[in-house]
């Protein structure tokens, strides 16, 4: 029995870029690391302004800009293989699920399989940047010595959406103190982490109040109104990084 194939014209493309540095897995210097995350967040904002949502923020998808990289190129956002057109306001209910598990946002985890799951939006990606930073702050040498940190990362990595969501909700609800973080990080860096946690917790709490448990329809306009403050949200996060980086010069 024959098979009818539909032919589509295809165009081969090759993109040549400059050679960038290592991935965030190979983080070393404190200021270099914070600058890379900061510039990756700024790149994410520029993508969004062009109508593209990255959708897979992770340690492996941020590269260092390389030696002597100029500001705005100290961190490079790569791997747009799951990137989509930013249509979360037009299509507020989204059943898609993407991302690298340890960095997936709380509400995307919580909503998986729910009938009225909120669509992936820029809030989710900003939260993923926070989890990238947390993985770096509590690196292996530290959490191997701290039972609570080891347990937290275990739940974030086993790909159980319920356990991962519960672990992240508990982490956000616990107000971080400087003493909760390894002392080899500077005071400015630890203040940044505390501020970033407070920002993410506030956003997640506000979104939770709107979407509930996502088993029934929620107020779409309330979430759209929250997203109208996009510039303010990016400005708040980038501002915290800029303050820390300025102090570390």
What's residue 7's pLDDT? 58
What's residue 12's pLDDT? 72
Task: Give the residue among 91, 34, 98 at the shortest CA–CA distance from 241.
Answer: 34
What's residue 67's pLDDT? 84
Fold category of 24-247 in CATH: Transferase(Phosphotransferase); domain 1 (1.10.510)
| The pLDDT of residue 8 is above 70 | no
Q: What are the CB-based long-range contacts (under 8 Å, 24+) for 73-77?
A: 73/39, 74/32, 74/35, 74/36, 74/38, 74/39, 75/35, 75/36, 75/37, 75/38, 75/39, 75/40, 75/43, 76/20, 76/39, 76/40, 76/43, 77/40, 77/43, 77/44, 77/47
What's residue 1's pLDDT? 46
Cα 148 from Cα 163, distance rounded (Å): 14
Whether the CA torsion 61, 160, 204, 217 is positive or negative: it is positive
What's residue 140's pLDDT? 66
Q: Band of the pLDDT at 48, cuts 50, 70, 90?
A: very high
What's residue 116's pLDDT? 97
Cα 110 from Cα 121, distance rounded (Å): 15
pTM of the shown model: 0.92
What mean pLDDT is predicted for residues 29-56?
97
What's residue 44's pLDDT? 98
What's residue 131's pLDDT? 98
User: Chain-centre distance of CA 165, in angstroms?
Assistant: 14
Distances (CA, A) of 161 to 97, 109, 173, 214: 11, 5, 18, 15
* DSSP state string for 105-131: -HHHHHHTT-TTPBPP-HHHHHHHHHH
Q: Band of the pLDDT at 10, cuts 50, 70, 90?
A: low
Q: Where are the domains of the chain?
A: 24-247
Share of the chain above pLDDT 90, in %: 73
What's residue 28's pLDDT? 81
User: Chain-centre distance of CA 122, in angstroms?
Assistant: 9
Helix, strand or coil, per DSSP, at residue 136? helix
The 10s digit of each residue's pLDDT in 197-247 is 999 999 999 999 999 999 999 999 999 999 999 999 999 999 999 999 999
The 10s digit of each residue's pLDDT in 53-108 is 999 999 999 999 988 899 999 999 999 989 999 988 888 999 888 899 999 999 99
Lowest mean pLDDT among 124-138, 142-156, 157-171, 229-243: 142-156
| The pLDDT of residue 166 is above 90 | yes
- Are 64 and 20 in contact by the 8 Å Cβ rule? The answer is yes
| The pLDDT of residue 145 is above 80 | no
Q: Band of the pLDDT at 143, cuts 50, 70, 90?
A: low
Share of the chain above pLDDT 70, in %: 94
- Are 44 and 103 in contact by the 8 Å Cβ rule? The answer is no
């Amino acid at each position: 029995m024959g098979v009818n194939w539909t032919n589509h014209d295809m165009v081969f493309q090759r993109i040549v870029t400059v050679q960038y540095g290592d991935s965030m897995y190979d983080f070393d210097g404190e200021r270099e690391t914070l600058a890379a995350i900061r510039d990756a967040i700024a790149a994410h904002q520029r993508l969004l302004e062009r109508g593209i949502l990255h959708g897979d923020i992770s340690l492996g998808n941020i590269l260092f800009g390389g030696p002597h990289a100029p500001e705005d190129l100290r961190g490079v956002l790569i791997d747009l293989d799951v990137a989509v057109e930013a249509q979360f306001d037009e299509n507020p209910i989204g059943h898609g699920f993407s991302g690298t598990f340890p960095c997936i946002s709380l509400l995307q985890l919580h909503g998986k399989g729910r009938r009225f799951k909120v669509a992936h939006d820029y809030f989710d990606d900003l939260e993923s940047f926070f989890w990238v930073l947390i993985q770096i702050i509590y690196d292996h040498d530290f959490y191997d010595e701290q039972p609570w940190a080891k347990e937290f990362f275990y739940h974030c990595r086993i790909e159980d959406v319920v356990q991962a969501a519960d672990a992240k909700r508990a982490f956000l609800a616990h107000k971080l103190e400087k003493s909760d973080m390894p002392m080899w990080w500077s005071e400015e860096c630890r203040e940044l982490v505390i501020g970033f946690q407070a920002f993410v917790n506030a956003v997640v709490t506000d979104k939770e109040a709107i979407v509930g448990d996502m088993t029934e329809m929620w107020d779409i306009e309330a979430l759209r109104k929250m997203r109208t403050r996009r510039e303010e949200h990016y400005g708040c996060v980038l501002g915290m990084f800029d303050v820390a980086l300025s102090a570390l010069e």
